[in-house]
Amino acid sequence: MKKFDRLIVVFLAVYLLISLGLPVLFQSINRKESSEYKVEINRIYLGLVKGSPFTEPDLSSCEFIKNVTFLPQSLSTRNEELDKFYKSNNGVEYEIKPWYDGDKLLGYLRFNYINSKGDNSFLLKVELILFMFAVSIVSILLYIRNSILKPFNTLSEMPYELSKGNFKGDMKESKDRYFGKFLWGVNLLRENLDYHKIKEFKLQKEKKLLLISISHDIQTPLNTIKLYAKAIVEEVYDTNEKKMLAAKQIEEKSLEIESFVRYIIKTSSEEILEIEVVDGEFYLKDLIEKVVLTYKEKCNLKMIDFTVGNYNNKLVKGDLDRAFEVVGNILENAFKYGDGKEIKISFCEEDYCQLINIFNTGEIISQNEFNHIFDSFYRASNSEGKQGNGLGLYICKSIMKKMDGEVFAECEKEGMSFTLVFR
């Protein structure tokens, strides 16, 4: 911002320097021109034939001299003739020279000239144009400063504050044509991050309480198991019937502990499933254009053959942003686990549903692994050495179900394909 202000100051300084230098420049030009008209006067004067009656010389080649008048010596004593001879004309300057024939004074010559090149009106016009140009440039610079750079400078600290986890600062919303929507988006992002941060703290608290509660509940059957196991080891029971009863109690308490473990897993899954989906509609074209805009260039950089088939622009049921998230997760998996040769998106319609098929070439996983690819926290053998948490496809399936849709996977001859079903 300060550098831009310096730019404006430098521009104004240059303008003032030029505007003040122009009169000096014009003055030097005027001095040069003033000597030029004298040259013309001397040439005309020397060209007059002395002793002959005065005849007005040819002035067609003269640039400054407009006319020459003569006042004979005999009339130079008359006041009315003198007044007429010396009468000035608007915009015309003159110079008087005596005309001699030897030692005899014949009269006086008046050379009327116009020093047009030294006209101050031209200088004023140049100064006015220069001033208007300077005002226009300064206005544009101030507009850029106040409408673009200043709002952007205000925004520059927001990403840094968000990265530190400071979500409390609020940005004043604006109807500015450049940053109005951006400010709104940043505020929405800040509010979402703040909401998820509070939600995360709440979940952490609930999780700790849940673990404490379940730990207490598990302790009872666990103590029972330990007690019966110790009794069996120390041969407290002297009959097989008592031993069988103890084993049955151990089995029942084990099942009770297993139910607690299932409850923990179920609770964890419910936290993951808490994804907000807008119950609405969107056009298929909007989804595909967003996908192409995001991933076409990425595929070009990775030298992957990315093709999108023909489709009819249908209105489908669901949330556009969440649908894009699903497609994005599948494409990211294609980048991560595919062989980098081809990704193809094709379309078809079936039973009043829109099907989107995403195919990528690559190594095929085993049937056993294939049966679990939509499970939470599951990672197949081909994920070794690659970043991930095994939640991508699990989230995709959850989102599609919330949009009253479905997602299917299929192992093909040369790779994997995923089919998204939208109503």
Instruction: Using the structure block, give the residue that is written with the tokens 């070794």.
Output: 384
Is the pLDDT at 190 greater than 80, yes or no? no
Confidence of residue 320 (pLDDT cuts 50, 70, 90): very high
Contact (Cβ atoms closer than 8 angstroms) between residue 339 and residue 364: no
Task: Taking residues 199-215, report their average pLDDT.
Answer: 75
For the domain bounded by 281-422, which CATH number is listed? 3.30.565.10
Model confidence pLDDT, tens digit, residues 32-50? 556 677 888 888 888 887 7
pLDDT of residue 53: 80
Is the pLDDT at 306 greater than 80, yes or no? yes
* Percent of the chain residues past pLDDT 70, beyond the cut: 87
pLDDT averaged over every residue in the chain: 82
Confidence of residue 359 (pLDDT cuts 50, 70, 90): very high
pLDDT of residue 259: 83
Is the pLDDT at 411 greater than 70, yes or no? yes
Q: Report the distance separating Cα 137 and Cα 12, nearest Å.
A: 10
Q: Which two tokens stand for residue 231?
A: 């009794």
Task: Taking residues 397-422, report their average pLDDT.
Answer: 93
Is the pLDDT at 194 greater than 80, yes or no? no
pLDDT of residue 81: 82
Is the pLDDT at 174 greater than 60, yes or no? no
Which one has a higher pLDDT value, 299 or 120?
A: 299
Report the predicted TM-score, pTM, of the whole model to 2 decimal places: 0.49
Is the pLDDT at 65 greater than 80, yes or no? yes
Contact (Cβ atoms closer than 8 angstroms) between residue 299 and residue 331: no
pLDDT of residue 283: 96
Least confident residue range of 237-246, 247-256, 360-369, 379-388: 379-388
- CA torsion sign for 259, 261, 264, 268 is negative
Domain segments of the chain as ranges: 2-120, 156-274, 281-422
Nearest to 356 by CA among 314, 398, 319: 314
Model confidence pLDDT, tens digit, residues 123-162? 788 888 888 988 999 899 888 888 777 777 766 667 766 7
Give the 3-state secondary structure of residue 347: strand
pLDDT of residue 325: 92
Q: Report the distance separating Cα 118 and Cα 337, nearest Å.
A: 81
Least confident residue range of 203-207, 314-318, 321-325, 372-376: 203-207
Model confidence pLDDT, tens digit, residues 225-236? 888 888 888 888
Is the pLDDT at 356 greater than 80, yes or no? yes
- CA torsion sign for 30, 33, 38, 41 is negative
Which one has a higher pLDDT value, 211 or 131?
A: 131
pLDDT of residue 171: 57
Task: Taking residues 158-171, report their average pLDDT.
Answer: 64
Give the 3-state secondary structure of residue 100: strand
Task: Taking residues 282-299, report their average pLDDT.
Answer: 93
Is the pLDDT at 83 greater than 60, yes or no? yes
